[in-house]
Amino acid sequence: MRRRSGEYRLWTRRDFIKLSAAGIGAVSLGMGCAPLVTTPTSGPKPPMPLPMTIAEAGKRLREGSLTSKALTETYLKCVKQLEPKLNAFITLTEEQALVTASAMDAELKAGKDRGPLHGIPIVNKDLYDTAGIPTTVGSEFFRKRVPKEDATVVRKLKEAGTVMLGKTNMNEFAAGISGTNQFFGDTHNPWDLDRSPGGSSSGTGAAIAAGICLGGTGSDTGGSIRVPASWLNIAGIRPTFGRVSLYGVYPRAYSLDCAGPLARTVGDVALLLNAMAGYDLKYSYSIQALQEDFTVGLDKGVKAIRLGIIENYTFREIDPEIAQAVQAAVDKFTSLGAEIKTVKIPLFGGPLEYSSLFNMLLYEFNQILGDEFRAEPRRKEVFGPIVQANIDRGMKITKETYEKARAERPKQIIEVKEVFKSVDALLTPTMPTVAPPLVGASKDYDRGRQFTLPFSWTGLPSVAVPCGFSPAGLPIGLQIVGNELQEGLLLRIAAAYEKATEFYKRRPKVSCAEMV
């Protein structure tokens, strides 16, 4: 939300609670929210349900039964209604969103169509630089940080015609998967407000799950896209390392970071990835790959596709409800015509120590932030306990230990990729548990690294897709992992499963129920 001075205000949960207490009518008036109607062409039109997917929204925008402005206004109203419960946003860019939405409507009316994302409201995780808009990285230390340039992904999504509703909450400096934040408040899971939404892309995930946008950006170092996808009943992809530019995205660990999208459905993830992926000279790890339309082939199914269950790994040390859901997914793939094979990856059977991989992440995190952290006299006030602990641990890791791990990494990647000679993709849980309580012990979150961090380490793409619910009604996610640059195949596999199960259609307790 822009102040009269021209600056953007960083909204806190307390702000939204105060506004909500004043009544939604007063909220709409005080924050400039226009009436939630589409201008009629031949008499009044009855309100319609919000679109479930980007594709549905696009169809309605082009046939004239919906405008981007009306859709944006409705989502903004939902934000104001639900934000006191969810705390998904750090900055709400309402004024800018409405201006952009109106411009997108005018372009469509004039015959200019930017493609499938034209006029689609999304959100951006608050570590993506946005020109003239605060990018805090979830940190008190960067509360007043305002970039002068958009991150490459932000620029590309703008060019594709998206409408940014705001910048979303996250673990401070992307440190952790809990969704907690000492300075901007914790993000809450709309399926159960006392539980974690997953992180560090917590705000993006919670906003999508609660139906207050159609998609958004996340980042994934050790699982920060896949974890919220698993615990929120949405889809997300961690692409091949280097396939999406990280220029203008604040780093957590240079050699592990990836940028990727989250959305309600696999098809929507594919549409967002189309806009985000591509070579970027400004990003040193960017890889040159053929431009690909990730939506092509989503309807081809999985007949004769070879899917691997990893011996002593896929079902190791996971909660019974997770094992049951993953086994049901394996059975479903079999019924869809896939070939299920048990495979061995010796490295995953023991030698690959997850805590050692995490040490490599923390060494790089210390290299990125450590000097600023140590030079800040108020560091105990402006850095949270997780960041402080991460820096302290990262300082203790020697360069020799780090370089030894780096030297071993290429060989380990080759060893893991050998499995793709016998299968097309691998199946694992995304997480070994359902979402734990927000105030849960660190061990509740540490267990999650066993399925996400190894594939970050090997740089391989992986998709997280809903695969069921616990007896308590909490979402469970399936991870599908492929060889490098096989995002199209992974999305095809995930789409076939999604279509056959339709878990994505279930809505959480806290959800936008508006009409547009």
Amino acid 6: pLDDT: 46
Pair (164, 27) in one structural domain? yes
Pair (151, 19) in one structural domain? yes
Residues shown for the chain: 516
Chain centroid to CA 256: how far? Answer: 16
Pair (222, 80) in one structural domain? yes
Helix H or strand E segment including 463: strand 462-469
d(CA 114, CA 58): 11
Whether the model pTM is above 0.85:
yes
300 in a domain, yes or no?
no
Cα–Cα distances in Å, from 400 out to 244, 257, 359, 396, 405? 30, 22, 12, 11, 9
Domain that holds residue 100: 13-276
| CB neighbour list of residue 287: distance below 8 Å, 6 or more residues apart | 240, 241, 242, 243, 279
Pair (315, 367) in one structural domain? no
d(CA 67, CA 69): 5
d(CA 101, CA 96): 9
- The whole-number mean pLDDT for each consecutive block of 10 residues of the chain, a chain of 516 residues, reads 50 60 38 38 74 97 97 97 98 98 98 98 98 98 98 98 98 96 97 97 98 98 97 98 98 97 98 98 96 97 98 95 98 98 89 77 97 96 96 96 93 96 98 92 76 95 98 98 98 98 97 93
CATH code: domain of residue 242: 3.90.1300.10
Phi and psi at 465, nearest 5°, equal -140, 145
SS (H, E, C) 397-440: CCHHHHHHHHHHHHHHHHHHHHHHHCCCEEEEECCCCCCCECCC
Catalytic residue among 139, 224, 230, 286: 224
Q: Is the dihedral of CA 236, 122, 160, 35 positive or negative?
A: positive
Pair (83, 158) in one structural domain? yes
d(CA 464, CA 477): 6
Are the C-beta atoms of 98 and 111 separated by less than 8 Å? no
d(CA 200, CA 224): 5
Pair (239, 335) in one structural domain? no
Pair (44, 161) in one structural domain? yes
Phi and psi at 427, nearest 5°, equal -115, 130
d(CA 414, CA 172): 34
Q: What type of residue sits at position 284?
A: S
Three-class SS state of 451: helix
Catalytic residue among 68, 200, 201, 245: 200
Sheet holding 121-125, edge to edge: 89-92, 163-168, 121-125, 215-220, 258-263, 235-238, 462-469, 475-481, 425-429, 306-310, 339-343
Are the C-beta atoms of 477 and 47 separated by less than 8 Å? no
Quote the tokens at residue 413.
């990647």
| CB neighbour list of residue 327: distance below 8 Å, 6 or more residues apart | 315
Amino acid 313: pLDDT: 94
Amino acid 340: pLDDT: 98
Pair (345, 359) in one structural domain? no
512 in a domain, yes or no?
no
Q: What type of residue sits at position 54?
A: I
Three-class SS state of 39: coil
Q: What type of residue sits at position 334?
A: T
294 in a domain, yes or no?
no
| CB neighbour list of residue 106: distance below 8 Å, 6 or more residues apart | none
Quote the tokens at residue 381.
């006030």
Quote the tokens at residue 321.
């409800």
Pair (142, 60) in one structural domain? yes
- Is 224 tagged catalytic? yes
Q: How far apart are the first and last CA of the chain?
A: 22
Amino acid 443: pLDDT: 73
297 in a domain, yes or no?
no
Are the C-beta atoms of 136 and 203 separated by less than 8 Å? no
Catalytic residue among 69, 125, 156, 167: 125
Quote the tokens at residue 171.
């673990």
- Is 284 tagged catalytic? no
Pair (387, 421) in one structural domain? no
Q: Pairing between strand 339-343 and 306-310? A: parallel
If one counts the domains in the chain, the total is 3
70 in a domain, yes or no?
yes
3 in a domain, yes or no?
no
- Is 80 tagged catalytic? no
Among residues 255, 317, 308, which one has the least CA distance to residue 451? 317
